Amino acid sequence: MNSSGEPGGVERELRAAIRRRGLAYRTEAGYVSWYRRFIRFHGLRHPREMGKGEVEAFLTHLAMERRVAASTQSQAFNAIMFLYRTVLKMPLEGVDAVRAKQPRRLPVVLSREETAKLLGEVPGGTPRCLVGLLYGCGLRVSEGLRLRVKDVDFDNGLVWIRQGKGAKDRCVSMPKRLAESLKLQVRRARLLFDEDEAEGGARVFVEPALDRRYGGRLSRSWEWFWVFAAAGRAVDPRDGETKRHHVLEGAVSQWLRKAVKGAGITKKVSAHTLRHSYATHLLQKGVDLRSIQEALGHASVKTTEIYTHVVHAMSGRTGSPLDDL
């Protein structure tokens, strides 16, 4: 059979389509995983032999039998739609499956005092700079890790987030207290860049089509080097070449776990908690909701409005009748 005539061939085409579009490696791994689960669920039938009914059955199974979260089911839906629309050229319309329930959960938020204690417990150097940036700019952890040297604008006091969620760019104010720490971090990155140059040439991941357009220069340039570069180099599974990656999310989680314990904080804290705290503290300062929406990169102000509920509760504006007795 040719490459499109067997499930393994479809998987190769799926990976190729994802890489042509420059999607994140995490997205590639997720989409491939959902493709495999989809065909296993239907007894390894070829996806060309299936269609809307089989997709609906799989998504309903995830919601009713597996009880997955709404976000998990949405990722499965997006992966399978990408497969049929982009790889198989068989777009499916009107897929109607039982949807997983989307719980309305309020975010965990740290007080200013807790945030200060937490940051004080994070080790100095790269860890404290990165964690401080996540809180100080309200970044998603992936956005902080993927910062390039060109994205840190010291002259204008800006941090640029390129290709954030929804493939959107935005910029946020650089915290003045973090400027010197960021300059030191860039100097640390320069040492790694120079080390790579001395050993045959620095190389980082740049979307292949963009890199090819510039003759492969971007992936070897200082401007495109990671601000938070990893200490060692590793093989890129997408093309088998040795490159310098950025610090991994697992390292950030480890730093935070130790800092939370050291600060004596009993709340469940993740890197995203810092983003929630950033938004809440800005609201408490009186910054308008629209400005916070833009800083966070939310597509709709409805998403940002959840923080108003938290602020109202924290302010004690409603109070309690027990206190009036």
pLDDT at 266 (0 to 100)? 95
Q: Which residues pair with 170 in a beta bridge?
A: 161
- Burial label for 203, CB within 10 Å (0-12, 13-18, 19+), is middle
**Domains of the chain, with CATH numbers?**
7-87 (1.10.150.130), 112-311 (1.10.443.10)
Strands laid side by side in the 152-153 sheet? 152-153, 158-161, 170-173
The DSSP letter of residue 103 is: -
Which of 163, 164, 130 minimizes the C-alpha distance to 144? 130
pLDDT at 220 (0 to 100)? 92
pLDDT at 302 (0 to 100)? 85
Which of 167, 1, 13 minimizes the C-alpha distance to 90? 13
Rounded alpha-carbon distances, angstroms, from residue 77 to 34, 52, 70, 99 = 9, 11, 10, 10
Catalytic residue set: 140, 165, 272, 275, 298, 307
Could you say which residues of the chain have pLDDT below 70? 1-8, 102-104, 164, 166-167, 316-319
Could you report how far apart the first and last alpha carbons of the chain are, in Å?
80
Residues written for the chain: 325
pLDDT at 2 (0 to 100)? 42
| Confidence (pTM) | 0.80
- How confident is the model over 151-193, as pLDDT tens digits? 999 999 999 998 767 668 899 999 999 999 999 999 999 999 9
pLDDT at 4 (0 to 100)? 47
Contact in structure between 159 and 153 (CB atoms under 8 Å): yes
